[in-house]
Amino acid sequence: MNYLTQMDAARKSIFTEEMKVVSEKEHIEIEKLRKLIAEGKVVIPANKNHNSLSAEGIGEGLRTKINVNLGISKDCANVDMELEKVKTALQMKAEAIMDLSSYGKTEEFRKKLIEMSPAMIGTVPIYDAVGFYDKELKDITAEEFLRVVEKQAQDGVDFMTIHAGINRETAEVFKRNNRVMNIVSRGGSLLYAWMELNNKENPFYEYFDKVLEICAKYDVTISLGDACRPGCIKDSTDPSQIKELITLGELTKRAWEQNVQVMIEGPGHMALNEIKSNMIIEKRLCHGAPFYVLGPIVTDIAPGYDHITSAIGGAIAAANGADFLCYVTPAEHLRLPNLDDMKEGIIASKIAAHAADIAKNVPGAREWDNKMAEARQKLDWKATFELSIDPEKAIGYRKESTPENPDTCTMCGKMCAVRNMNKVMSGKNVNILRDDD
């Protein structure tokens, strides 16, 4: 192998096996794909040690991808239960899984996840550090944080959230500008606390070159974390968020100089009318790097329904330039999601991503809808179910309420517009009150 990373290969005009896979999946010419990777506008997160990976591309001109967050915590440390969620997420064709484990047998879970998953695997190293060293946050050293990054890279993680933008300078901006929700990013809050407790610079910012060295060695894509993402719509697009974004743009250039692939993480909670401008600002300040958003959640009043509030924001964000959606479940802000919550979150995010792909004219996106329209016009229920984003649910609804006439449903019965138009258009009589001739 005469290249370090996918970006390095692209800049050397080398077509990697991963590029070939993505080119075929996305129906994009491989030379065009190579140029986008070389420019940093597309990433292929593909750790050299992730042997089960089926490569995916994230970025300009490609399908909007979705990520599923999983992992064990102190309150829910059942590894087997999380692995069942992994299997279901893979069956539902999620393109990425982030292991957010923060307690217990994190390494055991991570290694099993990487071994079994053709999907991209992401992590947040700072989550793992406290449990890994069995030390309080304040007592973990900068070198120890970096060793966790190296360990996860060795294990085969494809992308890592690194909160390098919350440096001392960004922290001062945060202190001067009051927020309702302060810092809601778990990783961001831990690093802010570490800096305050030790009166030191963020180690991921201070030793960013070392982080890049590790990432280049294993071809780990850096997902530059948004520590200052807004946690309520009142805090959105404020000085802290924008100051961090400026810093992330500077770090992006430094990473590209070392041929390290980069994604940028974004908001958060945000009103509908701010989403489009935020997508434009991110792409501008971060030089066209792929944008990875959580939501955005467009209203704060719907606990238990945040898979919907985030899908609304995600569709608008992706239609206006976001490339990667982090799913949100109905359990967001309330508890660790169970299997059913996860399914709801995946479907909501997939709907948002696909709706955005139609708006962006992504190759092949409309074909799926066109096939569904044809199936519905023909009242072909089998094809309708096969084309459904969630066939199981569609079939279940149909079985719960069986119509008198199999070519209709119990909503309209023989008054079905599709049925009657088909009859009239073919020169047949329309019988509603009596049996057909």
DSSP string for residues in 257-301: HTT--EEEEE--B--HHHHHHHHHHHHHHTTT--EEEE--B--SS
**Backbone phi, psi, residue 259, to 5°:** 60, 30
Tell me, what's the pLDDT at 45? 98
Query: According to the annotation, is 333 in a ligand binding site?
Result: yes
| Weakest-pLDDT range from 102-111, 206-215, 329-338, 398-407 | 102-111
Confidence of residue 1 (pLDDT cuts 50, 70, 90): low
Whole-prediction pTM value?
Answer: 0.95
122 is in an annotated binding site: no
Residue 229 labelled as part of a binding site: yes
**What pLDDT score was predicted for residue 76?**
73
Residue 34 assigned as binding residue: no
Residue 41 · residue 282 · CB < 8 Å: no
To which H or E segment does residue 99 belong?
strand 96-99
Q: Is 228 annotated as a binding residue?
A: yes
Neighbours of 223 (CB within 10 A): 28
Interval 236-265 mean pLDDT: 98
Is the pLDDT reported for residue 436 higher than 80? Answer: no
**Average pLDDT for the chain:** 95
Is 409 annotated for ligand binding? yes
Is 286 annotated to bind a ligand? Reply is: no
Question: What was the pLDDT predicted at 437?
Answer: 53
- Domain definitions of the chain by residue range: 48-359, 402-437
- Confirm or deny that 215 is annotated as ligand binding: no
pLDDT beyond 80 at 104: no
Residue 69 counted as an annotated binding residue: yes
Token pair 């199999």: residue: 406
Q: Which is more confident, 144 or 129? A: 144
Q: Distances from the Cα of 292 to the Cαs of 68, 221, 262, 398, in angstroms?
A: 12, 12, 10, 36
CATH of domain 48-359: 3.20.20.540
Task: Give residue-wise pLDDT tens across range 252-306.
Answer: 999 999 999 999 999 999 999 999 999 999 999 999 999 999 999 999 999 999 9
185 is in an annotated binding site: yes
pLDDT over 80 (residue 315): yes
Average of per-residue pLDDT across 310-335? 97
Question: Is residue 163 a known part of a binding site?
Answer: yes
